[in-house]
Amino acid sequence: MTLTVLFLLLYFPVYRGYARRIEIEKDLPYTVSYMVALSSSGMSLERVLERGGLYESNSQIKKEILLILGDVKVYGLDTSTALSRAALRSPSRTLTTLWLGLRETYLTSGDLKSYLSHYSSVLLADKTQRLRNIINSISMLAEVYITLMVAGPLILITMLMIMDMLGGTIFGFSPGLLVLLMTFIVIPFSALAVYIAVDGILSKA
């Protein structure tokens, strides 16, 4: 029992970090695209972050932006230091790259629009490729589902019903009992497993 509790205590932060990373990276391309539009109007980095924090719909990204603004406005840190701190605490490597890139741009050229436009195109390309991979995975699962959950059970149940009429057993079980087991246990739980697999794939979209 103690080992179980210890494992859960150690695993929970890892799980939370993973869940936050997935949530952040899911919407980050759209956040950066919005920042591109803001920087195109000539806004400073601080103003871009303020507007982004105000209208951001993703709660995890909004939290990260507000922490940066808090470091600047509440704790009096300069923007470059706040971005460095944000990069260190970020659960997402992609978001870390964004903060560090913004920091370097802020300290050197100050051309936020060029950097954000480039990074936005990179993120959107990665998002497109990831969606293609998800579609391929879903297509493969659909084929497996049709084969194992539609055609397979129909053929197997038909064979079992014929064997039940002819008499005999399979590994000591009557064919009629095996039909009931397939109908009420094997098929529903297999469908549930497919649903969980599809949900896990779509959660990364």
Kindly list the averaged pLDDT for each block of 10 residues, start to end, along the chain of length 205.
Answer: 65 76 91 93 90 90 94 92 94 94 90 93 92 88 82 82 75 78 83 82 70
pLDDT (0 to 100) of residue 17: 78
pLDDT (0 to 100) of residue 11: 65
3-state secondary structure of 28: helix
pLDDT (0 to 100) of residue 35: 94
pLDDT (0 to 100) of residue 24: 92
pLDDT (0 to 100) of residue 197: 82
Cα distance between residue 81 and residue 203, in whole Å: 33
Cα distance between residue 6 and residue 14, in whole Å: 13
Cα distance between residue 203 and residue 205, in whole Å: 6
pLDDT (0 to 100) of residue 4: 67
- Whole-prediction pTM: 0.75
Cα distance between residue 186 and residue 143, in whole Å: 18
Cα distance between residue 195 and residue 201, in whole Å: 10
pLDDT (0 to 100) of residue 82: 95
Cα distance between residue 100 and residue 84, in whole Å: 7
* pLDDT tens figures, 133-157: 888 988 888 888 888 787 888 888 8
pLDDT (0 to 100) of residue 78: 92
pLDDT (0 to 100) of residue 154: 81
